[in-house]
Structure 1
Amino acid sequence: MRTDRALLHDTVLAVVLAAGSLALLLVYDPATLQAQGLPSDMLRDLDPFGAVLVVLTCAPVAVRRRWPLAGLCAGMLPEGLLSAFGYGAGVAGLAGMVLLYSVASYRGLAVALGALLLSLTVYASQAVLFALPTVGWSDHVVVAVVLVAIWGAGRSLRLRRAYLDELKDRAARAERAHAADTRAARAEERSRIARELHDVVAHHVSVMTVQAAAARKVLASDPELAREALSAIEHTGRMAMSEMRNIVGVLRTDARAELGPQPGMQDLPTLVEQMREAGLATRLSVEGEPRPVPAGVDLAAYRLVQEGLTNTLRHAGAGAEAVVTVRHEPRELDVRVEDDGLGATALSEQPGHGLVGIRERVALYGGILNIGPRAEGGFEVRARFPLKGGQ
């Protein structure tokens, strides 16, 4: 559609130039020029042959955007014949200028320079071969300067068009990059939320399941113990609901979440005690001098211990014991969860989302994660987080 509109405009321009040239030659014929005291020597009246030459000179303007160089070359022949046979070119000479401008505007520098050199050479040849007594060297210099100026205007337009296209391309690339960054950020946020939800739900539900099973077994024989187990289930459920409410509150745009500190390694004793109440024999060992660590690493270490103990509770079997070891080193934090149960086979056959989330957390902070069975039996989850600046 845009090409058709441009062709229509150029065709109209060619018709206007041809009609103007013919009208000018008809109105200002040699007799009229002589009557007005203007020089009319070596000019002849317009006849059908001359009219055809004028039309042929202006016709290439119709294709100036598609074939500008070919149009320039095609218009030079009839324009030269107009000079050779003594016709006045009228405004037909503007057609060559329009075509030179089009070559400079729509073609590369080498082709544009060639077109300028060709136009100057052809004009110089016509000036030498068909020189008029009334035309001096200053007139020829003015024409040459006009040709160069028109060529320069075409080159300026081409450079401006290229600059605008580059700006549009940069804007499009920036928009695509922004969209890609937005998608990546959303995907990362979804992964983070999924990890948090899984860690909260899986841990608390696993603890509640074990406690409920214990309460069911002793309900008839030891009601007091069953009551304690049910109280623990209620407490665990309230904790799960509170953490889930905070996570969902962050996602809602029409409600403010109750902000609070994320769990960290300072909460490991509470976590270990909770696992003991659920029936898993758990020990906590802290080696080295505790020191502050980045908040993200602190949360990742806590979630790793939480996931490791939850898997031990679910898969290690009755009588298993878990050991949580936290070793503080000058440039590394070593966190390990070991058990002597039978959960290795179950975990290797069907890895859950929790271990996938742990891998993502550890990788996010440049840590090294080892998950697998121990040589002496049982299962191990171990992560080593690098600490910068001696933290």
Structure 2
Amino acid sequence: MRTDRALFRDSFLAAVLAAAAVALFVVSRGGGAAGAALLVLAYAPVAVRRRWPLAALCAVQAPIAVLAVLDGEPGLAGPAGLILLYSVAAHRGLAIALSGLAVTAVGYATAVSLSPSAPAWPDHAMAILIGIAVWGAGRSLRLRRAYLEELKDRAARLERAREADTRAARAEERSRIARELHDVVAHHVSVMTVQAAAARKVLTANPEVAREALSAIEETGRLAMNEMRNIVGVLRTDAVSGPPERRPQPGLRDLPALVEQMREAGLPTELEVEGQAAVPAGLDLAAYRLVQEGLTNSLRHAGPGAHARVSVRQAPRELSLVVEDDGLGPEAREGDRTGHGLVGIRERVALYGGILRVGPRTGGGFEVRAIFPLKDG
């Protein structure tokens, strides 16, 4: 639809300019039908100046040259050449834009050599300056458009990275609350255990004391349940979007969904899984977080056009994880001092006795590689 509108506008522009040039040609010079037809042919390529700008610029050189032979002054067709030169510079790359400038120079030299009346040198200089200025204006517009597109793309990447960081921060906060839940419940259960042991010892000798101990156990149990409800409520509620979240902690089984999420965020990612060894729940979560942080790191720093790859090998005695990308490499990571994701990865790997390597990848890019030992059975 946009292409059709542009073609219509350019066709209208070509028709208006051709009509104006023919009218001026007839009024000022009393020109005949041949000259008017050549002017129409000179302005006709303007209709396709966005779709085929270089071809249109080449096509306009022939009518201009013939006008130079017949009329001696092809100046009325000059604006067509300048419009097409601008279009080549504004809508094509540097190589084609330079080719357009060369075509214009050759066409101008040909028209001047064929014209019966040679223009003065000041006229030559003015024509050259106008041509260079028009070409420069077209290149400036193209560079500005490219700069704006890069700014938009960068803003979109930053927004995707911010969203990925937010999701990772929420997941980490839920993990922290889960650890807090464990500490709270463990405290209350320890108190209940001590009180139950005391009640058992005095149950026969001193029933009143045993009754008080049982009451204390009941009260402590209620406190534990209240604490669990409060903290689990926080775990299940997303502070931003609101809906409850009742899934268990993620693990290796959730890697396909994570990879798909990264693809949607703009990082083309591949996943390769080999083996199906049993992995403890805690290590399962740690492995997932490692892959998540590695992919988030790639999304933030690998740069546009980068690809990521996740390899998981589950052998009977070890779990191997590799997260790698072919992006900008470690230099882009060194400027980021605000996050602690890689520190968290090192802590998780050390907790389960694993080996971690984080750094540049052979052949370019960045990688996070970890090996966790697995116990038999």
TM superposition score normalised by structure 2: 0.57
CA contact 1:21–1:91 (8 Å) conserved in 2: yes
2:50 equivalent in structure 1: 65
Paired letter, 2:32: L
Report the CA distance shift for 1:19/1:60 in structure 2 as closer, same or farther (over 3 A). same
Post-superposition shift, 1:81?
1.4
Aligned counterparts of 1:130 and 1:211: Cα–Cα separation in 2: 114
Q: 1:55 to 1:210 in 2, by over 3 A?
A: farther
CA RMSD of aligned residues (A): 4.1
TM-superposed deviation, 1:227: 1.4
Cα distance in 2, alignment partners of residues 234 and 91 from structure 1: 101
**Deviation, structure 1 residue 199:** 3.7
Partner of 1:156: 140
Cα distance, 1:241 vs structure 2: 6.2
Structure 1 residues 137, 90: closer, same or farther in 2, change over 3 A?
Answer: closer
User: Alignment partner of 2:71: what SS?
Assistant: coil
Deviations 1:291-316 (A, max 9, x none): xxxxxxxxxxxxxxxxxxxxxxxxxx
17, 32, 46: which one aligns with 1:46: 32
Offset of 1:250 from its aligned partner? 8.1
Aligned to 1:27: 27
Query: What code does the residue aligned with 1:69 have?
Result: L
Q: What is the CA distance between 1:233 and its match in structure 2?
A: 0.9
Secondary structure at the aligned position of 1:28 is classed as helix
Q: Distance in 2 between matches of 1:120 and 1:354?
A: 70
Task: Measure how far apart 1:148 and its partner are.
Answer: 1.0
Aligned counterparts of 2:282 and 2:130: Cα–Cα separation in 1? 76
In 2 relative to 1, CA 153–364 (structure 1 residues): closer, same or farther, beyond 3 Å?
Answer: closer
The corresponding residue for 1:177 is: 161
Tell me the CA shift for residue 151 of structure 1.
Answer: 0.8
Runs (5+) with no aligned partner, structure 1: 31-44, 255-348, 372-391
1:189 aligns with 2:173: yes
Higher deviation after alignment, 226-235 or 8-17: 226-235
Q: Does 1:167 align with 2:148?
A: no
| Map of 2:65 onto structure 1 | 80
Deviations 1:166-201 (A, max 9, x none): 111111111111111111111111222233224423
Identity of aligned residues (%): 61
1:93 alignment counterpart: 78
Q: Is the 8 A contact 1:198 1:354 kept in 2?
A: no
Structure 1 pair 128–63 and aligned structure 2 pair: CA distance change class (3 A): same
Quick check: 2:14–2:46 contact (8 Å CA) kept in 1? yes
Inter-partner Cα distance in structure 2 for 1:209 and 1:137? 106
Q: 1:124 to 1:181 in 2, by over 3 A?
A: same
1:292-303 residue pairs with structure 2 within 5 A? Answer: none
Measure the CA separation in 2 of the matches of 1:228 and 1:65: 90
Whether the aligned pair in 2 keeps the contact of 1:24 and 1:90 (CA below 8 Å) is no
Equivalent residues, number = 259
Question: What do the CA deviations read for 1:50-108 (whole angstroms, capped 9, x no partner)?
Answer: 33221111111111111110110011112211222227646432011000011111122
Deviations 1:88-145 (A, max 9, x none): 6464320110000111111222221222122112212221221426x31211211111
Structure 2 gap segments, 5+ residues each: 240-277, 290-342, 354-377
SS of 1:66 mapped into structure 2: coil
Once the two structures are superposed, the pairs formed by residues 1-391 of structure 1 within 5 Å of their partners are 1-30=1-30, 45-47=31-33, 49-86=34-71, 89=74, 91-132=76-117, 135-201=119-185, 204-205=188-189, 208=192, 223-224=207-208, 226-237=210-221, 240=224, 247=231, 366=347, 368-369=350-351
Please give the TM-score of this superposition, normalised by the length of structure 1.
Answer: 0.56
Q: Counterpart in 2 of 1:299? A: none
In the TM superposition, what is the alpha-carbon distance from 1:253 to its structure 2 partner?
Answer: 12
Alpha-carbon distance change, 176 to 216 in structure 1, aligned in 2, over 3 angstroms: same
Three-state SS of the structure 1 residue aligned to 2:47 is helix
**Whole-angstrom distance in 2 between the partners of 1:123 and 1:55:** 19
Cα distance in 2 for partners of 1:53, 1:95 equals 12
**What code does the residue aligned with 2:144 have?**
R
Do the aligned partners of residues 72 and 240 (structure 1) sit closer, same or farther apart at CA in structure 2, a change above 3 Å counting? same
Contact 2:64–2:111 (CA under 8 A) maintained in structure 1: no
- Cα separation, 2, equivalents of 1:351 and 1:210: 31
Q: How far did 1:355 drift?
A: 11
SS for the counterpart of 1:101 is helix
Q: Which one has a bigger Cα radius of gyration?
A: 1
In terms of mean alpha carbon deviation, does 210-219 or 112-121 score higher?
Answer: 210-219
What code does the residue aligned with 1:5 have?
R
Give, as a single letter, the amino acid of the residue that structure 2 aligns with 1:2. R
Check 1:370–1:4 CA distance in 2 against 1; reply closer, same or farther (3 A cut): closer
